[in-house]
Chains A and B, each alone.
Chain A
């Protein structure tokens, strides 16, 4: 059983915005909507940290529980949380339920995308672009692959966890006390 997750070595994130931009490039997410965004805390002072935030593909997704029309579902074979945009009524419940603010409700779109106005969109692990395809793609998180410092790890938890532990362990031991 494979389980897809993101792990972020936040000590390495430099807020370069590659994850944001490549997600847009790959999934053609329109202006004003972001599947992954970097949140900065303590900006400009010691302890400044950047955290890339997207859907975390929760083990027990509160958004799924909150959705009144069962538009959100967790894929059994790999744990990716997906949504059926045709079922979504754009009520925004999932946005309230999600602890990370991952679900987005695009508005003010133009042209072809008009029909998806207000309909929930979020990270699909690159399985589905903004305008859903009939056939799902392979899950392959571009944000993690392009991440400028490899701060963002994405993929099967069994594969990325050891990497995360290795990268994280030394950060928290050596010079950390000076920065925090």
Chain B
């Protein structure tokens, strides 16, 4: 464990005076603001910059470096540990991502960790009463029930809801755990936060992740937000964005709501919720019609431009104005800025989004349109450019990479035989297991092994319980569910979910808090909750949104009776008869196992390398630059912070900017993978479905090349060669994943080129027939999914439900809010659930600020405070989604076990959000539905 003690004056033996210390404090701030140059300038003057982060003069206090658990920025901080207790936190000024900064959630970490409201011991609900049970009893009961259900209904009748809040190692073990339990019914938050980003980006150019690091936005010409509110969801990202703005970048925010980010922007564009695609196509339309697009780049590195233009040419600014409510001239202005960044020639622009764009029935298409906007000007793969998906949870990139998902195996391997064999090959090294043995664990259904069939998603797991007509691929309903570090109030259709929670035979909650997994269901028994320790009571690696992997140190031993998640899995595995596959004693070994198999993303960051980086970042501020996160001096010179994947081998510095091909692969260069091939492709010659070459130009090669085996021959060996280090290929500057083309047209998607589709509940009945949603789908991840039927049924809903309901974040709360709503500081800042309503609308409805109001949709209603503000326009109502504890105006606080619970409760907006789901990934639609509002 890397620790540093209070070491003022350690380097030269002189104890600094109070004045020097504070001067440094101020300069530390200055250093963080400016780039490397001023940091080194200060270094020269004050070689003791390290002390700027030393603890106050408290004897016996150790400072332990760690990573914030609240969002995917991945801010570093230092826990102040005294006698094994975390008594507070101090800034970690040398961390290149945040240079000490944190937001209110990060600043409350110690309070959250020490919360007296945490779940303290395993508990079971019996005869309507919560009773304390021992760990042994709890685990025995759970394991026996699992065995019973597997025997009676089959392995697919247990649903495993995993978490993005645990380390990579635990995510990986969780996916492995589900596999050994013989089911693909495993899923987690990534499904409901950025699954559409992954589908959209990966189908455009191979990887589904944020392309450029946070700090890189300092070099952007234009920073364009579309459905992102970083000031509330990723506050420390604003450190870099506002620095870019200061240096001359133009910061444009496009959002249905005038967010806190919009307040900090240069330009704000308000558009109608659910019309992102026409808005982006309008911008593209202006660019192409004016001939501003980057023809050279499009010819060399992309595919399908002409067919794409056939669609996009219809979206003229005037057409778009009618759909989006954005004036045509505003669209032209944004298009001009996008083509000619006002910061100056040579700057690339980036587009950033989060849930505002992903959580739609057309989420995947939204993201595809952003990627096309980036491709159009050739900004993808350049410093300052790229497409930056701001992910949510602290380790949601990692949990996605580890694929706690119902349609993938770790590191984006599919469910086909080859992929299973690849991972079984890795697992076999820990304890013997063969493909046949694994297959025997899975059920067969309709003559097919369910091993190869996508499981049910977290967004609709309750349908797996309630639905009696499984169209194809689920033999029996779900009878038992694990809610393992997942906030249920972030899933829509909560009333149906409540019903499902009351129907399953056993519900198991695993979380540091009791959460609504314990309390939402109104049932007398059949719930067991286990106290998992927090992220700061165990160690492991976490991957932030920018693919930077950081080692999170343990601050203190698990409090109360709480246990690390991996220990719980291990104990269950033992009882279920496959304990030998989970006999790990430390997380380092698990990471090494991950390193073995994660070829697709080349996640080869060894624990040793991660810890070495942290150690270096402890001693000198100038080591990792704030400009590009690269080590500029010291033994790690050249390495990028967090070794962002692909990190090809133990010498590779990491790839901070995806698809950047003007630098060698060995220094972080990268190419679009040659991942896409139509039916006529031959090895070495990938073709699209319409016969065009999918090889792009790379590294001075006139043509690209297909995927390579590690010996240099054509073929996808790089994905499956467990022990290859690819050094020979990389020395020749060959990217083993090939050099392909990014796709304007993705032929395998429901919409190869995205088109506008009105939301299920549209405020514009006149547009529904012109821009209809999808046809109903009979089997969407094992569940039926209605689109057109319900859209047609609700075509004129706007007459009775006149307002658009949209939902989003509050800076003080995170996810379902169980942790943050239990924290006194945060609750003091944000004590109550509310709905934002425009003053004019409020006046019409006779509502005054902070009145109780009802917000009602077809699904139900919420009783909340009215927050009268011009943030929303007259047609829109906004609600934050972090709240729980009330259901349609009635508190169910009494259902929490005594001594747990939260400090602030409110109605959950996901009780009333719409029953629409993304066509590709089953992401829930939370950003558009129709509602009415009246005084309570």
Contacts and interface: CB of A to CB of B under 8 A. Distances in A.
Indicate whether A and B interact. Answer: yes
A108 interface: no
Given A14-B264, A78-B19, A174-B248, A160 B107 contact: no
A137 B263 contact: no
A123 to B, nearest CB: 15
Given A4-B22, A138-B56, A148-B101, A154 B260 contact: no
Contact of A17 (B93, B100, B247, B829): B829
B871 interface: yes
A16 B828 contact: no
Interface in B49-108: 56-57, 88-91, 93, 99-108
B5 to A, nearest CB: 16
A148 B22 contact: no
Nearest to A175: B266
Interface string A145-180: 111111001111001101100110011001100110
Contacts of B871: 43-44
B825 A20 contact: yes
Nearest to B257: A44
B26 A149 contact: no
Nearest to A154: B26
A138 B18 contact: yes
Contacts of A174: 248
Contacts of B101: 18, 146-150
Interface in A109-167: 126, 137-142, 144-150, 153-156, 159-160, 162-163, 166-167
A21 to B, nearest CB: 4
Contact of A137 (B25, B56, B826): B56
Interface stretch (A22-30, A55-63, A84-92): A22-30
Most chain-A Cβ atoms within 10 A of its Cβ — which of B248, B261, B264?
B264
Interface in B10-53: 18-19, 21-23, 25-30, 32-34
B266 A178 contact: yes
B442 interface: no
A138 B21 contact: yes
Nearest to A1: B19
A144 B872 CA distance: 31
A159 B27 contact: yes
A16 B56 contact: no
Range of interface residues on A (Cβ < 8 Å): 35 or more
Contact of B103 (A11, A16, A44, A145): A16
B811 A17 contact: yes
Contacts of A12: 238, 242, 264
B882 to A, nearest CB: 14
Interface string A1-41: 01010000001101111101110111000011010000000
Nearest to A17: B104
A150 B239 contact: yes
A144 B111 CA distance: 20
A126 B88 CA distance: 13
Contacts of B557: none
A171 B251 CA distance: 12
Given A170-B248, A174-B248, A146 B266 contact: no
Most chain-A Cβ atoms within 10 A of its Cβ — which of B105, B111, B826, B828?
B828
Interface string B864-884: 000001111000000000000
A120 B698 CA distance: 68
A138 B236 CA distance: 26
A159 B23 contact: yes
Given A20-B104, A146-B91, A167-B33, A25 B111 contact: yes
Contact of A44 (B21, B88, B93, B258): B258
B25 A155 contact: yes
Interface string B205-243: 000000000000000000000000001100110110010
B812 interface: yes
B250 interface: yes
Most chain-B Cβ atoms within 10 A of its Cβ — which of A25, A49, A153?
A25
Nearest to B343: A174
Interface string B256-296: 00101101111110000000000000000000000000000
Nearest to B98: A148
Contact of B268 (A21, A46, A78): A46
Contact of A31 (B18, B110, B242, B824): B824
B103 A17 contact: yes
A34 B825 CA distance: 10
A78 B26 CA distance: 14
A2 B258 contact: no
B531 to A, nearest CB: 24
B246 interface: yes
A20 B89 CA distance: 14
Contacts of A137: 56-57
A155 B824 contact: no
A48 B239 contact: no
A147 B99 CA distance: 10
Given A138-B21, A139-B18, A146-B101, A15 B26 contact: no
Contacts of B245: 171, 175
A148 B235 contact: yes
A163 B811 contact: no
A34 B268 CA distance: 33
- Which are the 5 A-B pairs with shortest beta-carbon distances? A155-B26, A17-B104, A48-B263, A21-B107, A22-B107
22 contacts: A2-B23, A16-B232, A17-B812, A18-B106, A20-B829, A25-B108, A48-B260, A50-B263, A138-B21, A141-B25, A145-B25, A148-B101, A148-B103, A148-B238, A149-B239, A150-B239, A156-B23, A156-B26, A159-B27, A160-B30, A170-B247, A174-B248
Interface of A: 2, 4, 11-12, 14-18, 20-22, 24-26, 31-32, 34, 43-46, 48-50, 78, 126, 137-142, 144-150, 153-156, 159-160, 162-163, 166-167, 170-171, 174-175, 178-179
Given A17-B811, A46-B268, A138-B56, 10 more contacts: A11-B264, A24-B108, A50-B263, A137-B57, A140-B22, A142-B91, A145-B91, A148-B236, A166-B34, A175-B266
